[in-house]
Structure 1
Amino acid sequence: MPGPSQLDDPLYAGIAWSRYWRLMRWMTALTFLCVIAALGFLYYAHGLVSVHMYIAAAAGVGFALLLTSALMGLVFLSSGTGHDDCIDDPVSRDISPDE
């Protein structure tokens, strides 16, 4: 039987989710800076090639960084709140060799 999670407590869950969204706001700002740096590098290296290349590069860099930060933020949320420790893990049980 899985144990209770700290995220079941509304006060603790509110604190944890506010920390997650604060991390996401910082990562969004950093993503914008990285997109600007990537577009600047592309312009420096290749000049004005096509507006479509710059749109695709901005969308690709932005999507990749935001998706990565969202997923890693959820991993930190799950681990930091003890949500990972409250599962019922059948693999960790001792199994005798006769079974």
Structure 2
Amino acid sequence: MPKRSGLDDPDYAAFAWARYRRVLGWMAIVAVVFIAGAILVLEQVYGPLGWVAILAVIGGAGGSIMLAAALMGLVFLSSGSGHDESIDDPE
């Protein structure tokens, strides 16, 4: 039986996915801090914000930060686990 490597190895896959979730957790904290700061700055500039504007900041800024973190995290997960190298290129 061939030796498993990267994400094919259940122990390493569990470790890699735990690291990915930890990175996303830290980025969620960064997103919350950024959103709070953005709302405070917008309130200083424009006065009291309506709930629609606050939801727009949460969805726009928070969604962008978390989407970028998720995609970059998957790139690093794939590259760091050796999963990219395990792909068989027929050419």
Short-chain TM bin = 0.7 to 0.9
Aligned residue for 1:30?
A: 30
Q: Counterparts of 1:34-53 in structure 2 under 5 Å?
A: 34-53=34-53
The alignment-based identity, stated in percent, is 44
TM-score norm. by structure 2 comes to 0.88
Unaligned runs of 5+ in 1: 94-99
The amino acid of 2:41's aligned partner reads F
TM-score if structure 1 supplies the norm length? Answer: 0.81
Cα RMSD, aligned residues only: 1.4
Q: Deviations over 1:2-29 (max 9, x none)?
A: xx65111100101101110110111111
Equivalent in the alignment of 1:65: 65
Counterparts of 1:83 and 1:16, CA distance in 2? 11
Between the two structures, name the one with larger relative contact order (CA 8 Å, sep ≥ 6).
Answer: 1
Q: After TM superposition, where is structure 1 displaced by more than 2 Å over at least 4 residues in a row? A: none
- Superposition map of 1:7-22 within 5 A: 7-22=7-22
Distance across 1 between alignment mates of 2:12 and 2:27: 23
> Distance between the aligned counterparts of 2:51 and 2:6, measured in 1?
48
Unaligned runs of 5+ in 2: none
